[in-house]
Structure 1
């Protein structure tokens, strides 16, 4: 069977091409991919090629399919798995496969998301990484992967219980949360999750230096929405501050932040995060730096005397993905806040290569169609000459300007998918 997809042959060398997909074995499953959102981790992978820890050395001869935030339907089921999986059902892939460094979108010749069809190997299925999904949209599954990473980040934080040697996992209930560099797609996902947590914080402060990003953040997750849930939410433009750390501390009355998340791998941001920690505060370097020598000045005096902690997190575990799917299905989080652009498979390679240069949030690719990458905010203007985009603009306007199930159906119906 022919498949079309984006494969990597080396650093900065990714190609959209048609290739032969082999027949599945009795212990494999074939997927029809419908959507895949592009992750900054994929850009880092493409930048390094075989130098990336998850990428095989043999990609020049055996290229790998990129992309790991995939959604779609099961198309064929090998005999071994026919009692557990059904053709036509929807799925979720857990990209972090337990016990191995290899992962979809990095390591497999026929298993990835930037493609029309792919094959799930037996070992991935046996490890419980192909999950059933009963939802009614594809895009929500694609962005459930970044949401599960966000949840994993919250679960990486920890605090201590006074007068004991016990620790408790997660953000401090009733505490202050700072999400630094937080108006990008992952930061907004982190805000959405914080509002949905059972053990709610008292305050969330989100920083950014771009006023347009701040304005959009307020539009999609408002201070009023947070207030209705008993949480004080503040968006702050730190570009206007003389002493960033001092002024952020002042917002808490000098108490500081019990949980700080660094969502941009910038030395100054990390150092600010360290300076604003409360007693027993935990700072999470969530944004993965591309520089293996990335470092910053940290206050070790506070680490000793004020019990501050520094952690990092990358990805999550199966329980985090299941929680993300549960929250999405119950409409307790809104993953669409992360999405700002829509495109087809033909836009995947160029978008990935230039991802840091393209403004906005998540770029969602529908792999069964060809369409230029298009910003949601541009739909109405384009709709003056292309009726499809006028319909998409109207659908998004009915959902706070966000991508949604109605818009997805309009798009897929137009292309006959």
Structure 2
């Protein structure tokens, strides 16, 4: 029997760390050790909604679930069914979006024995059956944890579509050499989208990123320079919608935009994005609205005569996760740039519930460790960790991760 320490959800705003006795694995299951989990705002939504969430089972009070879905770790024991594909001591990541037709249940939202905020987990058969357990060849566990959010970005870019000239057939993906707009793009997902736009095989000609926080825009500009793409970081704070629209049009010489991504769910901004669409443009509602009745006016004249498109993506799939794992392992994307806080498992509940107030980028949990949340920007530069961060321009790193694993107390 394996004892696991895990953050579990018992209902709305009701989370705590428990010691959980894991049963012996079945022949079609895998026992694994989780090393790190990066925190998603979806977990905050999950905690706020409890049993009202579409992915949670009923009766959480008596049947709590393990929380966390952006995790990486090491395989410990493989059931006989999967021994020809997976091996002990192999590092892994999981694509939690199982995309099943029979149930919305997924890891991190629905299961008693698998979630990222745990020391040990049992990976159920369906994860392997659906190709969602993916070997990871990267250097660091934090890189593995960020494969899932990168997979969401890859899914969004792949879901964009544009007409093949003189046909009604579509070419999937962003328009090569087009104009791209990311609205509200300095949060962690926006930054990952910027990174992918600048380093994927298909790139825009111009990329415009908006936000209302100048410090975050300045930081994004510093983190994501490009010699190949013309990048503009635009502060829209205090501007009316009309003023924003004129400014954003001017950034692309009034050519409008071919690919647009909404990283926030705000009706006036969604409607403005619709007016900024070029002929054959595609608008992606990336942010998941909390309001189930969220809507915005859409110009159907443009849909008919200008062939504009609207798409929404929610999470990635196994193929996206595998692609993310490869890009990250090959250091084509530098996902460490989005990490702003690190913490031990003991601080996971409070941090999950306080994400909107904490702000910043990704919060990274080292599941076997016990230490309070650390904001990287406020680490004493003369401390051991501060000296490591200084070497890496304040950005998380393999060296910083090893320091945490070697020096912080176990939970």
SS at match of 1:233: strand
The reply on whether 1:231 has 2:232 as its aligned counterpart is no
**Offset at residue 240 of structure 1 (A):** 5.1
**Offset at residue 400 of structure 1 (A):** 2.9
Distance in 1 (alpha carbons) for counterparts of 2:392 and 2:192 = 17
Report if the CA contact (8 A) 1:379-1:392 is conserved: yes
The residue aligned with 1:292 is 292
The reply on whether 1:164 has 2:167 as its aligned counterpart is yes
Report if the CA contact (8 A) 2:8-2:15 is conserved: yes
Distance in 2 (alpha carbons) for counterparts of 1:172 and 1:209 = 27
The residue aligned with 1:148 is 151
1:12-161 to 2 correspondences below 5 Å:
12-99=13-100, 100-161=103-164
Distance in 2 (alpha carbons) for counterparts of 1:259 and 1:397 = 37
The reply on whether 1:410 has 2:411 as its aligned counterpart is no
Cα deviation, 1:54-92, whole Å, max 9, x if unaligned, reads 111132211100101011111222233233222211111
Report if the CA contact (8 A) 2:136-2:329 is conserved: no
1:335-350 to 2 correspondences below 5 Å:
335-350=335-350
Report if the CA contact (8 A) 1:328-1:335 is conserved: yes
Report if the CA contact (8 A) 1:178-1:206 is conserved: yes
Cα deviation, 1:131-173, whole Å, max 9, x if unaligned, reads 1122220000101100000010111111112211110111100
Distance in 1 (alpha carbons) for counterparts of 2:83 and 2:169 = 46
Q: Which moved more, 1:249-258 or 1:234-243?
A: 234-243
Distance in 2 (alpha carbons) for counterparts of 1:391 and 1:273 = 46
Report if the CA contact (8 A) 1:379-1:393 is conserved: yes
The residue aligned with 1:212 is 215
Distance in 2 (alpha carbons) for counterparts of 1:27 and 1:380 = 48
The residue aligned with 1:372 is 372
The residue aligned with 1:386 is none
SS at match of 2:280: strand
Cα deviation, 1:232-279, whole Å, max 9, x if unaligned, reads 011000115451011101111111010000001122221221121111
Change (3 A) 1:73 1:415: same
Cα deviation, 1:358-382, whole Å, max 9, x if unaligned, reads 120110110000111111101126x
Q: Which moved more, 1:50-59 or 1:126-135?
A: 126-135
1:170-189 to 2 correspondences below 5 Å:
170-189=173-192
The reply on whether 1:198 has 2:201 as its aligned counterpart is yes
1:271-350 to 2 correspondences below 5 Å:
271-350=271-350
Give structure 1 regions of 4+ aligned residues with deviation exceeding 4 angstroms.
none
Distance in 2 (alpha carbons) for counterparts of 1:169 and 1:84 = 31
SS at match of 1:236: strand
Q: Which moved more, 1:160-169 or 1:298-307?
A: 298-307
**Offset at residue 353 of structure 1 (A):** 0.8
Report if the CA contact (8 A) 1:220-1:400 is conserved: no
The residue aligned with 1:254 is 254
Q: For structure 1, which runs of at least 5 residues remain unmatched after alignment?
A: 384-389
The TM-score, its normalising length taken from structure 1, stands at 0.94
Distance in 2 (alpha carbons) for counterparts of 1:180 and 1:394 = 35
**Offset at residue 395 of structure 1 (A):** 2.1
1:389-408 to 2 correspondences below 5 Å:
390-408=383-401
The reply on whether 1:359 has 2:362 as its aligned counterpart is no
Distance in 2 (alpha carbons) for counterparts of 1:201 and 1:398 = 32
Report if the CA contact (8 A) 1:343-1:372 is conserved: yes
Report if the CA contact (8 A) 1:219-1:400 is conserved: no
SS at match of 2:365: strand
**Offset at residue 128 of structure 1 (A):** 1.8
Distance in 2 (alpha carbons) for counterparts of 1:401 and 1:415 = 19
**Offset at residue 310 of structure 1 (A):** 1.4
Distance in 1 (alpha carbons) for counterparts of 2:277 and 2:158 = 18
**Equivalences, count:** 405
The residue aligned with 1:387 is none
- CA RMSD between the two structures: 1.4
